[in-house]
Amino acid sequence: MTGSDPAIVVEGLRKTYGGKPALAGLDLTVPQGTVHAVLGPNGAGKTTCVRILATLLRPDGGRAEVAGYDVRRHPDQVRYRIGLLGQYAAVDEELSGRQNLEMFGRLYHLGARRAGARADELLERFGLTGTGHKAVGQYSGGMRRRLDLAASLIMRPQVLFLDEPTTGLDPRGRTEVWNAVRSLVGGGTTVLLTTQYLEEADQLADRICVVDHGRVIADGTADQLKARIGGDRIEVVLRDGGQLDAAASVVGLAAGAAEDEVETDADRRRVAARVENRVAALTETVRALAAAGIEAEDIVLRRPTLDEVFLHLTGRSAADGAAEETADDTKDHSKDDATDHTTDHTTKEGAGV
Amino acid sequence: MTTATDTTAQPSGTLRWALADSWTMTRRGFAHWARQPVQVVVNLVFPVMMLLMFAYFLGGGMTVPGGGDYKQFLVPGVFALTMAFGLEGTMLAVTQDLNKGVIDRFRSMPMAPSAVLVGRSVLDMLQSALSLCALIGVGLAMGWRWHGGIAEALYAVGLLLWLRFAMLWIGIHLGMVAGRPELVQAVQILVWPVGFFSNVFAAPEHMPAWVGAVAEWNPMSATAAATRDLFGNPGAGGGSWAADHAQLLALCWPLLLVAVFFPLAVGRYRRLTR
């Protein structure tokens, strides 16, 4: 692989499970040293894609190259050049952090001495030096994730796959992982990241592709996508549902939105509109509501949710698509419920394959 | 890229790496043992407990065909039973391992794919060898003796471990077929009737005719009868062809089982990547 070749090339990738297509001709190109986010709901094919690229699954059709090697023909060459951080911690829970890293180092054929030295290096880098003999099973979620990430980096991989790296982490654990990813990219690693959260893609990725039903349906930088989706939104919940129409015109005016862009929800006494300038819109809305004598129970500014991206791009809800594709997969996973993420998925994609 | 990447980018298929990786996986098992000493002790104590219960609670009422002390008859039987019951431990370990996230990391690494199974084999054979040592020690303390030469005794131990080796591959295969630890429980229950459907605790002559005939052909019975014969303990032999050719069967039964289950297990493990 020379300096200008892409780190990941995927062409027409297909994979079917029991007659249902998980990937239906996925295309993807990731330049070296960049972060590419694959955004989509559960069941969109994100995990399937990562598992094929990490040589864990064989595709039914299409081509995939990682770090210049075909994943089907030269899996071992690929394996020496990648790191994988899956949805669930891929470390031995009964061993200590150091025992884990040393074991993986030996299995990468570093030899006992170098495996040990690399383990110590990584423990220090990820702030796990003091963990000593403690079994990983007793680590906090954030610590386990950091160890998992450290294990993915033993070989200083050219390409790092992160499959929903922050699902199930608390906000602090998420920040830890985000910071670690940022520092890696500074070192020249190419990162392919899957996520359900637009915010995560926004924070980390140079480019985002939105995946649905195993295909890329939109592709661009975070700003480009957000422009297509419609930017931030302001939501006002009223004390008195009878004032809904009055509030709609006040909010629309204050937020600078056209009349048909203001949504109202009588059941929840809610008015919502897209905004261009977050702070100005909020200030103006609060002032205008007070001036009109309309009492608000709650006012929030928020980014578009994945559901709204989906609604915009496909004309249907992301949750519907997920339910349809993973109906036979009931494995639960706990998710963090950060304020921005209002989509609620109870199924998980690609489990048990 | 870094030197770490370049100097080690060799194919994993070479025997050297296969051995090194298998050793690393075996060390992983030792580390687990060190973490769970109680589990290791329980695994050693359980067969000893079986031996003591049958010898002292039930042994008084048992008769040995051709006469003789029941303890002398029982001890080699429990050796064989313990080897056969090793199946459960293998199956459980394989199932638990495959359900852990760490297996994904192993499979995304350039390690020899065989190392996971080889590591498992070495650990389980070692565990069973330790169990056998403990049983021999307790047996001797109970008054059990072998009367043949040292070569016969070693041959008997070899036959016992050979049965365990066959059970290992059945366990690995069933562990992958079952897939979930819950299903392993069902097999753990089924192991019991299969274990008792043999000459381990009672002579087949004393069973209803057809039951006795089936029990004599149980692979475990062949190993038990062959070791009784080699140790010079009572109850070996009998009227039937199976009883008269116990040593041959003790070699052939495990061979047949390995011939069937080894390729099945390896094939199934390879297909995990599809």
DSSP, residue by residue, chain B: --HHHHTT---TTSHHHHHHHHHHHHHHHHHHHHH-HHHHHHHHHHHHHHHHHIIIIIGGG---TTS--HHHHHHHHHHHHHHHHHHHHHHHHHHHHHTSTHHHHHHTSSS-TTHHHHHHHHHHHHHHHHHHHHHHHHHHHHT----S-HHHHHHHHHHHHHHHHHHHHHHHHHHHHH-SHHHHHHHHHHHHHHHHSSSSSS-GGGS-HHHHHHHHHSHHHHHHHHHHHHHT-TT---SSHHHHTHHHHHHHHHHHHHHHHHHHHHHHHHHTT-
What's the gap in Å between the CA of A260 and the closest CA on chain B? Answer: 49
CB A318 within 8 A of CB A343: yes
What's the gap in Å between the CA of A86 and the closest CA on chain B? Answer: 8
> A99: which residues sit within 8 A by CB, 6+ positions away?
A92, B31
pLDDT of residue B263: 93
Cα B58 from chain centroid (whole Å): 25
> B108: which residues sit within 8 A by CB, 6+ positions away?
A54, A55, A56, A79, A82, A84, A90
pLDDT of residue A199: 82
B38 reaches A (C-beta below 8 A): no
- Mean per-residue pLDDT over chain B, rounded: 87
- Contact (CB<8Å) A109/B8: yes
pLDDT of residue A318: 56
Search chain B and give the residue with CA nearest A152.
Answer: B105
B180 reaches A (C-beta below 8 A): no
Search chain A and give the residue with CA nearest B27.
Answer: A103
pLDDT of residue A87: 83
> A110: which residues sit within 8 A by CB, 6+ positions away?
A118, A154, B4, B8
- Report the C-alpha gap between A112 and A114 in whole angstroms: 6
Positions in chain A whose pLDDT score sits under 70:
1-3, 230, 259, 306, 315-353
CA angle B32, B34, B35 (to 5 degrees): 65
pLDDT of residue A257: 75
Best probe of the A interface among B109, B183, B270, B272, by most A CBs < 10 A, is B109
Range A227-232, long-range pairs (CB < 8 A, 24+ positions): A228/A312, A228/A313, A229/A304, A229/A308, A229/A309, A229/A312, A229/A313, A230/A274, A230/A304, A230/A308, A230/A312, A231/A274, A231/A275, A231/A276, A231/A304, A232/A274, A232/A275, A232/A278, A232/A301, A232/A302, A232/A303, A232/A304
Best probe of the B interface among A47, A107, A138, by most B CBs < 10 A, is A107
pLDDT of residue A329: 37
Residue ranges covered by each domain of chain A: 8-81+157-227, 232-302
> A138: which residues sit within 8 A by CB, 6+ positions away?
none
pLDDT tens sequence across B105-156: 998 899 888 899 999 999 999 999 999 999 999 999 999 998 888 999 999 9
- Contact (CB<8Å) A156/B2: yes
Search chain A and give the residue with CA nearest B115.
Answer: A107
Domain at A232-302, CATH from 3.40.640.10, 3.30.70.100, 3.40.50.200, 3.30.9.10? 3.30.70.100
CB A244 within 8 A of CB A264: yes
Best probe of the A interface among B10, B24, B102, by most A CBs < 10 A, is B102
B35 reaches A (C-beta below 8 A): yes
B183 reaches A (C-beta below 8 A): no
A151 reaches B (C-beta below 8 A): yes
List chain B pLDDT tens, one digit each, 274 residues. 333 344 344 554 578 888 999 999 999 999 999 999 999 999 999 999 999 999 998 887 788 877 788 999 999 999 999 999 999 999 999 998 888 888 889 988 998 888 999 999 999 999 999 999 999 999 999 999 988 889 999 999 999 999 999 999 999 999 998 887 777 888 888 888 888 888 888 888 888 888 888 888 899 999 999 999 999 888 766 677 888 888 999 999 999 999 999 999 988 988 875 4
pLDDT of residue B152: 93
- Report the C-alpha gap between A191 and A334 in whole angstroms: 25
What's the gap in Å between the CA of A88 and the closest CA on chain B? Answer: 6
- Report the C-alpha gap between A181 and A341 in whole angstroms: 21
What's the ipTM? 0.85
pTM of the entire predicted model = 0.79
- Contact (CB<8Å) B100/A158: no
A353 reaches B (C-beta below 8 A): no
pLDDT of residue B47: 94
- Report the C-alpha gap between A115 and A272 in whole angstroms: 56
What's the gap in Å between the CA of B40 and the closest CA on chain A? Answer: 15
- Report the C-alpha gap between A333 and A164 in whole angstroms: 12
- Report the C-alpha gap between B73 and B232 in whole angstroms: 10
CB A47 within 8 A of CB A37: no
Count of CB pairs separated by less than 8 Å, A with B: 95
- Contact (CB<8Å) A94/B110: no
- Fold for the domain defined by A8-81+157-227: Rossmann fold (3.40.50)
Give the tokens for residue B237. 């032999």
A175 reaches B (C-beta below 8 A): no
